[in-house]
Structure formats: C-alpha cells, structure tokens
Chain A
Amino acid sequence: MSEHLLEVKDLSVSFATEDGTVRAVDDVSFGLERGKVLGIVGESGSGKSVTAMTLMGLTRGVNARFSGEILYKGTDLLKVSDNDLQSYRGQELGMIFQDPMTSLNPVYRIGEQIVEAIQAHEKVGKAEARARTIELLHQVGIPNPESRVDDFPHQFSGGMRQRAMIAMALSCNPAILIADEPTTALDVTIQAQIVELISRLKDEFQSSVIFITHDLGVIAEIADEILVMYAGRVVEQGTKRDIFYEPQMPYTWGLLGSIPRLDRPRADRLHTIKGMPPSLINPPEGCKFRPRCPHAFEKCAEEPALESRVEDPGHLDRCWLTVDYKRSHRDETISPGTEAA
C-alpha cells in the first residue's frame, strides 16, 4: 500500500441559502498518491468543484458547514486556521481555474502576478523571482517569455493564459496541482495541448494532479484513477481501465455515451442523459440518479451503498443492478445503434 499524499475521509460540505440548506458534497472519500493523477468527473452541480475548492479552503465562509477530514501529509486541512492555511496555498497545493481571462487580474502584468505568487512564500528578491518567472513561462511553452512576461492578460490568447496560470500555480513547487475544468473554456485543439502540458509538467515538477472535468474524453489519457460524482456523492470510483471498460453506473454509461468517438462505428445519434440534476436542498429518496435512469427498478428506492460489486476491490459503485445485467445493457447507452450485432 503506497502512502497516500492526500486522504479525504467522509467529506461533507453544505451551504445555508435563502431557499434552504444545500448539501453540495455528501460523504466523499478518496485518496491521492504521489505522482498520480486523479480525475473527478460530473455534471455541473455534482459537487466536484466544491470538493476541489474545499481542499484549498476556498469555500470557507459564514454559511458553510464542513464535516469529515482532509488529511494532507497527516494534517487535517479542515482544522487548519485561515491564517495557517495561507502557507499551504500555493506552496503545498496549487490551483488553476476554468476561465483564465477572469481568473487573472486585468490591471497587473502576467509577470507581476507570478512574481507575487513566488514572493508570497519564498524569500527571494525581485530579480530572482522575475528570472524564475521567465523560466516558468518557458517551461509551460510560452514563446518569447522574456518579452511576454511584461504583457497584460488581455494580450495573451486563451490557451496562453491558461499556460500562464499553470506556471503561476506551479511556481512554488506544490505537491498537488488541482485543475478545476482547465480546458472547458478553450478550443478543442488547445484542450489537448493543455492536457498534454499538465501531463508533462506533472513529471517535471513531481506533483500529483487532481483534474476536474465534465468530459470523460479529456482525461482519458492522463488519469490514473477516476471518481464519478453525482448530486454531491461519489457514484463510481476506480482505475481508468475500470471506468472505461467496465463501467458499473448507468450515469457513467451516459457520460461515456456522450463522447464522440472516432474509433468506433459511427452511431446513429449521440446519447444524452435526459432530465436535470436533482435538487441539492431536497434530494430524492433512494438512489439519486433514479429519476433519470432508464434501468431503474423497485430496489432503487433504497439508497445503494458505495461498495465493490465486482472482483476488483478498488472499483466501487452505487448501483443495485446485477453485474451481468450491466454487461449486457450498457452498450445501449455507450454506443447506441451499434449493439445490434
């Protein structure tokens, strides 16, 4: 059993709003090892971003309630004071966000913002910080870093801005890089470049990565382990192989079915998951996916526990359907129009 760099145990996050209490994250547990990539996948509202931001303490506020543990190198980050958390952010955990245009301060130069990140944690002079910044920009693949370091964010293209953000997040060599939908706002071709960049940097900087996305296709290459979240809960968890070749949750099938594939016979139509995500204030009883699941049956009125129902003990899911049923029915969803054979 290799040592877990990050261990999240039964994490729950809820927010008080004028409509009621929102249970954004419900009993989520996972582990992250050194040098590995964990992919967290789900729709908007699944709780994936809240989970990520809670790791950094960015969801703390008067209306937020937390329970469970976030053990980073043995320390429970939930119990760390706001003051002390500052030293973790940027230095132990780095984060990049979805929209690089709004995530960078428009009135300061890119270089200034990265230097600021460095000087927040390390006692280095301005000149040295600047030199490091230029080197970082070079490492993330920005051409002419010596001159571009003095540009403003709006002078960069979308892909370059995201690269700059990655540079900023890695500037103090954090052990974990959290990427919250880093490619969602970018073109498809740029998406691939960014994913590849993260993969390369992970090795160069020896960081672990938590990669959050709603698109399974994006992390198909890079993820070692994948967490599928729905309505604030983990509904399936396993290695990349498990998820892509033996998915156990109808929801996962839906996600897989909505990826356009070039390596399979062309389907009649792309699958869509009908319906809408459930309310997080008044969640439905039983399996949360039941209202949208075409395979639901009467047992689904009882909430399934997250456990392994297949041979591999590391592959967990929350579905009552039998493994055989799943095997024979999942291709209807994943590649509709091709199962008639």
Chain B
Amino acid sequence: MGAPPPATSISFGGGHRRPVATGNQEFTLDTAAKLAAQEGGGAQVQGRSPWALAGRRLRRNYVALASLGVFLLVVVSCLLAPVYASHVAHRGANDANLTGYIHENGKTIPVISNGGSRVLPDGTVIVIPAGQPIGPQWGAAGGQYVLGADQLGRDLAVRLLYGGENSLRVGLLSAAISTIVSVLLALLAGYFGGVVDWILSRVFDLIWAFPVVLLGIALGTALSINGFHHFGIHLAAGDLWIPTAVIAFVFIPYIARPLRGQVLALREKEFVEAAVAQGAGPLRIMLTELLPNIASTVLVLFSLIVANAILTEVGLSFLGAGVQPPNASWGTLIADGQSWLATDPWFSMLPGIFIAISVLSLNIFGDGLRDALDPRAKVRIER
C-alpha cells in the first residue's frame, strides 16, 4: 500500500462575486490569471492535505468511531480494576479464599465446595464434587463473586479486569515497540541498502522462518525459567516485560519487511534525490522525506498488529508461556477454566468474550482507518 498522493478537494472558493473589469483594462496573460484567482465566482481547486482528507473520511465513518469507543470502554473498565476490587468485590486479584463463605438469600454457601450431596424435592440426588468453585452469582451475593470464583477462591470478576489490564497492556505495548523498532530497521535497511540491508534482511528472514507460535513459546518458556539476566538487564521470571518483548520481537518481520519494500521504492524517487543534492544527511532524509510517506502504511499495520498481539498473548498465556502466575491475563484465565468447562462454562467463556470484543473493535476501527487513508475515492471517476 502506498502513501496517499496529494489529492485535491474541489470546493467553491469565496462568497460573493466581483464583476469582471470593463473592456478598458489591459489584459495580458498574467493579469488574466491573477484575475481568475481573485474572482470569487469561478470555483477554485483547493489543495487539502491528504491527512486532512483522511481525517474527514474517518470522522464520517460512524461504525469505526463507535468501535474505537467500545475498545476504549474496555480499556477504561480494565484500568478501573483496583476500584472494582476494593469497592465492589472487596477482594484483591490474588486473594485466595479456600475456606470462605458467601451469604445469599439467607443461605451460607462455601466458595469452594466441600463435597457432599443434595436431594431435590422430586427425589433425585445431586452429587457435588469437592473442590468446585462457586459459579457466577450475578450480584446476588452483594458484589462478591459476581462472575464466580476460581479454584483458589479468588474473585473471577476482579481477575478478569486485572487480567484484561495485563493482556491489553502487553498487546498494546508490544505492538508499539514492535512497530517503532520495525520502522527504524526498515528505514535503515531501505535507505542504506548494501551490506546493512543484507544483514537486516537475513535477520528478518531468520525470525520469520520460525513458526510464530513456536518461537513465542520457546522464548517465553526459556525466559520463564529464570527470567532474563544478561547485558545488564535484569527481569524476573514473571515480569510482564518478558511476554511484551517476546511478542514485539516475533512480529518484527511482519512489519519491517513490507515497510522496507516501500522505503526501497521511495528511495528511488526524485524528491529524495533532490534532498540529497541539497546536502541533507541520512537522518534528515529518513525523518523528513521517507517517514511521512510510509506513515499511513505504518498506521494501518499498527492497528493490525495490536489486534494480533493481543491474540498472540492470549495464546501464549493459555499455553503457559506468556504471563506467569500469580499474574492473570485473559489467556491464563481461559486455561484455568478448562477444567470446569462442563459445570461452569462461564469461567472460560467470559475472558474469551472480552477478548473477542476488544479485538473485534480494534479490527473494525483498523478497517475504517484503512478506508480513510486509501487514496482511491469510493467512486472512481473515469475521465
């Protein structure tokens, strides 16, 4: 995808019309042009920057804006996790409650079942296995365990929100880091060419040759053993920066390669030659000539990568190679809920629904962004 070419928007310039000068006035080719420019009457072809046009198109896309709103809503809700924990659930994300009880409808129910049996009015006997966490209470217990408990008695709703914060944070940060690093590498590789390009391209190839999930799991697991203690950086095994860095690393080739291709093509264009002729150094050229022209591709790629990063984090955490306990993420919660699938499906369902909503809204917005930045107008005028 290329940068939006300078598009022009045709608008009716000026308000009232001034009369054309009478036949006494000298007309030359130059004065005619000036007069044409002065006259409010004829329409002017007004140049508007492609960004302004894109912004206008985006603002008109209500679905995309609504999706962005939904996503932000999810983000805000997750950021309010501590508030929910202290004021609604009265329980922290990691506060186990193996022997606690809740009170609802006058009954006292253990959070983790003790096992036993119950006899229904019609005589059937229900066997309750021990160790089963309580299901969603939906407010009946006064804010506690609204969405149920997990196997250690922790409040699922609280963990869902904190986990969401982690998942979203890892997803967004890793996408941002990946994009920034990729842009840098793509600019370097594309601009300098030669040996630099060769080395960087081989690096991209190498990362890309690994099956994404496998590489992510390999790195994630290796780093979960002892953390990372090299090159003066010290990260503990459960540090959230680890999955962030891993995911950022894995996505580099997917962003850097297409961008590198674009930079290579742009480098040959005349405006770059002109800048070089004016004595501009590499840094200046990269920043002022190349970067703005790949910016729209970067934006679109970024929106795609964020969605994929969140899904990757979920996958990695589900397999145990991402966010580590006791930290929660939506992925770990899905894994936790696996055992209770038959009796308490909500345990696994809920994190998934949250993930689906977040990623879907990101995808819809990303689509809207792509449409807005697309230089081709919706209707093609054939001349």
Chain A residues packing against B (C-beta within 8 Å): 15-20, 22, 24, 44-45, 47, 49-50, 53, 58-59, 63, 274-285, 290-298, 300-301
The answer to whether B32 and A18 touch across the interface, beta carbons within 8 angstroms, is no
Q: Point out the residue from A45, A282, A301 that lies within 8 Å of B383, measured CB to CB.
A: A45
Closest chain-A Cβ to B360's Cβ sits at a distance in Å of 27
A residues in contact with B39, CB < 8 Å: 291
- A sample of 10 cross-chain residue pairs with beta-carbon separation below 8 angstroms, ordered by A number, consists of A22-B381, A44-B383, A58-B382, A274-B32, A274-B36, A277-B45, A278-B43, A279-B12, A293-B32, A295-B27
B230 lies within 8 A of chain A by Cβ: no
The answer to whether A297 and B23 touch across the interface, beta carbons within 8 angstroms, is yes
Lowest 6 CB-CB distances: which A-B pairs, in order? A284-B42, A279-B43, A291-B36, A274-B33, A291-B42, A294-B32
A277 to B31, CA, bound (A): 17
Q: Which among B10, B28, B41 has the greatest number of chain A C-beta atoms within 10 A?
A: B10
B residues in contact with A16, CB < 8 Å: 379
B278 lies within 8 A of chain A by Cβ: no
Main SS at interface, chain A: loop
Contacts A274-B33, A298-B23; A285 near B41 (Cβ below 8 A):
yes
A261 to B109, CA, bound (A): 101
The answer to whether B43 and A283 touch across the interface, beta carbons within 8 angstroms, is yes
A59 to B382, CA, bound (A): 7
Q: Which residue of B lies closest to A24 (CB)?
A: B381
A19 to B381, CA, bound (A): 12
Q: Which residue of A lies closest to B23 (CB)?
A: A297
A280 to B33, CA, bound (A): 19
B117 lies within 8 A of chain A by Cβ: no
Closest chain-B Cβ to A42's Cβ sits at a distance in Å of 10
The answer to whether B382 and A50 touch across the interface, beta carbons within 8 angstroms, is yes
B22 lies within 8 A of chain A by Cβ: yes
Contacts A279-B43, A295-B27; A17 near B379 (Cβ below 8 A):
yes
Closest chain-A Cβ to B242's Cβ sits at a distance in Å of 47
The answer to whether A294 and B27 touch across the interface, beta carbons within 8 angstroms, is yes
B195 lies within 8 A of chain A by Cβ: no
The answer to whether A281 and B28 touch across the interface, beta carbons within 8 angstroms, is no
Q: Which residue of B lies closest to A46 (CB)?
A: B383
A residues in contact with B11, CB < 8 Å: 279, 282
Closest chain-A Cβ to B40's Cβ sits at a distance in Å of 10
B residues in contact with A24, CB < 8 Å: 381, 383
A76 to B20, CA, bound (A): 43
B377 lies within 8 A of chain A by Cβ: yes
Chain B residues packing against A (C-beta within 8 Å): 9-12, 17, 19-20, 22-23, 27-33, 35-36, 39, 41-45, 377-379, 381-383
A residues in contact with B31, CB < 8 Å: 294
The answer to whether B382 and A18 touch across the interface, beta carbons within 8 angstroms, is no
Q: Which residue of A lies closest to B45 (CB)?
A: A276
B residues in contact with A58, CB < 8 Å: 382
B residues in contact with A50, CB < 8 Å: 382-383
Q: Which among B11, B19, B20, B42 has the greatest number of chain A C-beta atoms within 10 A?
A: B42
The answer to whether A18 and B43 touch across the interface, beta carbons within 8 angstroms, is no
The answer to whether A279 and B10 touch across the interface, beta carbons within 8 angstroms, is yes
Q: Point out the residue from A45, A59, A290, A294 that lies within 8 Å of B20, measured CB to CB.
A: A290
Q: Which residue of B lies closest to A53 (CB)?
A: B382
Q: Which residue of B lies closest to A277 (CB)?
A: B45
B residues in contact with A45, CB < 8 Å: 383
The answer to whether B19 and A298 touch across the interface, beta carbons within 8 angstroms, is yes
The answer to whether B381 and A15 touch across the interface, beta carbons within 8 angstroms, is yes
A15 to B30, CA, bound (A): 34
Q: Which residue of B lies closest to A180 (CB)?
A: B383
A20 to B45, CA, bound (A): 14
A150 to B19, CA, bound (A): 64
The answer to whether A19 and B20 touch across the interface, beta carbons within 8 angstroms, is no
Q: Which residue of A lies closest to B36 (CB)?
A: A291
The answer to whether B377 and A17 touch across the interface, beta carbons within 8 angstroms, is yes
The answer to whether B381 and A282 touch across the interface, beta carbons within 8 angstroms, is no
The answer to whether B20 and A49 touch across the interface, beta carbons within 8 angstroms, is no
Q: Which residue of B lies closest to A15 (CB)?
A: B381
A282 to B36, CA, bound (A): 15
The answer to whether B43 and A284 touch across the interface, beta carbons within 8 angstroms, is yes
